[in-house]
Every structure is written in structure tokens, then in C-alpha cells.
């Protein structure tokens, strides 16, 4: 009698087990073939989140941003050539203007795990 060694976590995923006959070895053991059906869990790692534009500053400086964008977009040459080049010029102009006038949201600092009060109590 042989046993199938499978970790307890994957026991439900074993669907079918068969023996292979005709192995020419001097042993009482039989070779086994097992069919598994397993769904692996997607492990979510820490993702590098993109920094976001500061929308409060954008709303406060709305008129100034609009005026600057109109001036910068008017300065872009409108070539009737490649649409990809036109799109890149437009995108670059908008991103430069917004990064200059608005900026990105700064990360909020978390509370330190060990504050100075706790360190002083540990010293006592």
C-alpha cells in the first residue's frame, strides 16, 4: 500500500490518481500519476503608487492654469503630419504647465512607532 504525499493545503486539489503498471524494478512500490486542479492565489505586493496631482491647488489656481495653457498650446506648431507627434507635444505641454503651477500631493507622514515619550519611559 502506497501513500500520496501532498501537503494538507493542496489535498482538495487532487482530482484523480492512477498507478503505472509494468515498472521493472525490484520493489513493492508502484508508480503513481496524479491529476491536480489548483488555483493559485494572486499575491499583491506593495505597488509603487503614482503620485497624484494636488487637486486643491488646481481648483484654487484654475484661472491662472487655464491662461497659461492657452498661451502654451497656442505656441505649439500644428503640423498636419503624424498624429502621434502632435499628441506627444500636447501631452508634454499640459504636463509641464501643471507640474510648474500645481505640483503633486506630498505623502502624509505616519506617526512614528516609538515616540520620544516612550523612549524616555523606557530609560526610566
The structural domains of the chain, with segments of one domain joined by +, span 1-38, 55-101
Pair 45, 32: CB distance under 8 Å: no
Strand pairing report for 14-20 and 31-36: antiparallel
56 burial class (0-12, 13-18, 19+ CB within 10 angstroms)? exposed
C-alpha cell at 65: 492654469
Q: Tens digits of per-residue pLDDT, 2-44?
A: 556 778 877 888 888 888 776 567 777 777 888 989 888 888 8
In the block, residue with C-alpha cell 499575491: 43
Is the pLDDT assigned to residue 1 strictly greater than 50? no
Is the pLDDT assigned to residue 73 strictly greater than 70? yes
Amino acid at each position: 500500500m502506497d501513500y500520496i504525499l501532498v501537503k494538507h493545503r493542496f489535498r482538495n486539489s487532487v482530482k484523480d490518481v492512477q498507478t503505472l503498471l509494468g515498472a521493472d524494478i525490484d520493489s513493492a512500490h508502484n508508480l503513481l500519476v496524479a491529476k491536480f486542479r489548483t488555483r493559485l492565489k494572486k499575491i499583491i505586493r506593495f505597488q509603487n503608487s503614482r503620485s497624484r496631482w494636488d487637486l486643491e491647488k488646481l481648483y484654487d489656481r484654475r484661472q491662472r492654469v487655464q491662461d497659461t495653457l492657452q498661451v502654451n498650446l497656442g505656441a505649439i506648431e500644428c503640423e498636419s503630419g503624424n498624429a502621434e507627434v502632435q499628441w506627444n507635444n500636447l501631452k508634454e505641454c499640459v504636463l509641464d504647465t501643471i507640474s510648474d503651477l500645481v505640483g503633486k500631493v506630498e505623502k502624509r507622514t505616519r506617526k512614528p512607532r516609538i515616540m520620544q515619550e516612550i523612549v524616555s519611559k523606557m530609560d526610566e
